[in-house]
Amino acid sequence: MSSPVKLPYFDALLNLLDQGHPALEQAFGRHVHWGYWPEPELADGSPEDFALAAERLTERVYTAAGVHGGQRILDAGCGFGGTVASLNGRFRNIDLSGLNIDRRQLRRAEQRVSAEPGSVLNWIQADACTLPFANRSFDTVLAVECIFHFPSRKRFFEEAYRVLKPGGRLALSDFVPTRLLRPAMSFASRWPASAGFYGRCKFHNTLRDYRRLAEETGFIVRHEQDITSNTLPTYDFVRKLAKDMNVKTVSAIIETLFAEWASRLGLLRYLVLAFEKPG
Ligand SMILES: C[S@@+](CC[C@H](N)C(=O)[O-])C[C@H]1O[C@@H](n2cnc3c(N)ncnc32)[C@H](O)[C@@H]1O
């Protein structure tokens, strides 16, 4: 079984996790995204430290959405279900749907996360741009570090707007270029051959594009936060982990180095954003 979209990093991850690597399991067995360190200089490079940082990043996204118990929440592009697991552990009487295009990831999520008493979990295989849900059926829609894979940000925003109840929020994290970097990223995102280890990634949407997209789709911008500097310890950790695991894929090394240096130079920012459907 493979994913309907080409995501070589998930093929590699699933394969290595199946072989049983404790450090990889700890770092990427639950969340598959960068970490958040309130004090980046204190990052110690251990898998335990990275796992805590990854959990914090998820919490920042759902906190921006103002999640609370009793809500119905959709996590689009849910990976191995880390965000759903975090919400399930933290809030009571919650109805959670994890949606992913890749059935293999959903199977892993289903095997590892079970609903707390009084809460409900659902795992759905679908494209985030064609949501199989009724209008006005969710309080919150989340998309943690995955919107750049979706076929269209606009289509996803329209779908999130449709399934949200009035007053509901969409919160996400994304790599957002400055205007200086945008032309290069725009070119790369249209060039199919640019899809490497991380698959097709469209990192061309600037903050101004997000504000425009919100306006076009009917959302109000509620939260904009640049956490780039808090994510930077991720790169040393990923490099060391790849070395320990003997991952030598050239595109993985180049793409990760590019993201690191574009981020260190302030050209690519890691943002947490939240949008509200007017009540
Ligand atoms: C970097 S991972 C993030 C996973 C998860 N949100 C997390 O934070 O752990 C990107 C995710 O987007 C999913 N994805 C890619 N294209 C998708 C699509 N069109 N619809 C739904 N999910 C998609 C991938 O399968 C993968 O799980």
Domain-located, residue 3: no
Residue 101: CB within 6 Å of ligand 1? yes
DSSP 8-class letter at 181:
T
Residue 14: CB within 6 Å of ligand 1? no
Residue owning the nearest CA to atom 24 of ligand 1: 77
Q: List, for residues 130-154, the tens digit of each pLDDT value.
A: 999 999 999 999 999 999 999 999 9
Domain-located, residue 237: yes
Nearest to 77 by CA among 172, 179, 176: 172
Residue 219: CB within 6 Å of ligand 1? no
Q: Which residues contact 71 (CB under 8 A, 6 or more apart)?
A: 91, 94, 95, 139, 140
Q: Which helix (H) or strand (E) holds 224?
A: strand 220-226
What spacing in Å lies between the alpha carbon of 196 and ligand 1's midpoint?
16
Tell me the residue range of the domain where 198 lies: 8-276
What pLDDT is attached to residue 238?
A: 94
Residue 211: CB within 6 Å of ligand 1? no
Predicted confidence band at 192 (pLDDT cuts at 50, 70, 90)?
Answer: low
Residue owning the nearest CA to atom 15 of ligand 1: 149
What pLDDT is attached to residue 115?
A: 97
Residue 234: CB within 6 Å of ligand 1? no
- Among 3, 113, 127, 149, residue to substitute to test ligand 1 (most atoms within 8 Å of Cβ): 149
Query: Can you spell out the DSSP letters for 37-101?
Result: -SSGGG----HHHHHHHHHHHHHHHHHHTT--TT-EEEEET-TTSHHHHHHHHH-SS-EEEEEES
As for how many domains the chain has, the answer is: 1
Q: List, for residues 48-59, the tens digit of each pLDDT value.
A: 999 999 999 999
CATH, residue 66? 3.40.50.150
- Among 100, 113, 127, 203, residue to substitute to test ligand 1 (most atoms within 8 Å of Cβ): 100
Q: List, for residues 76-123, the tens digit of each pLDDT value.
A: 999 999 999 999 999 999 999 999 999 999 999 999 999 999 999 999
Q: SS3 for 108?
A: helix
Predicted confidence band at 190 (pLDDT cuts at 50, 70, 90)?
Answer: confident
Residue 61: CB within 6 Å of ligand 1? no
Domain-located, residue 2: no
Domain-located, residue 40: yes
Rounded mean pLDDT of 178-184? 91
